[in-house]
Amino acid sequence: MTCDIILCGVGGQGGLSVSVVIARAAMAAGLHVKQSEVHGMSQRGGEVLAHLRISDREIFSPTIPKGMADIIFAFEPLEALRHLSWLSAERGTVVAAMAPILNIPNYPDIDSVLGEIRKIPRARLVDAEALAKQAGNVRSANLVLVGAAADLLPVPPDAIEKEIVAFFSKKGEAVVQANLMAFALGRAIPHA
Query: Which ranges in the chain belong to alpha helices (H)?
Result: 15-28, 77-82, 110-118, 128-135, 141-148, 157-168, 173-187
- Distance separating alpha carbons of residues 119 and 115, to the nearest angstrom: 7
**Is the model's pLDDT at 155 over the cut of 70?**
yes
The residue-averaged pLDDT of 69-80 equals 96
The residue-averaged pLDDT of 90-118 equals 93
Write out pLDDT tens, residues 46-70: 778 899 999 999 999 999 999 999 9
What is this structure's pTM? 0.92
Report domain 2-100+124-187's class: alpha beta
- Type of residue found at 146: V
Bridge partners, 48 (sequence order): 9
The residue-averaged pLDDT of 153-177 equals 96
Write out pLDDT tens, residues 29-52: 999 999 987 655 545 567 788 999
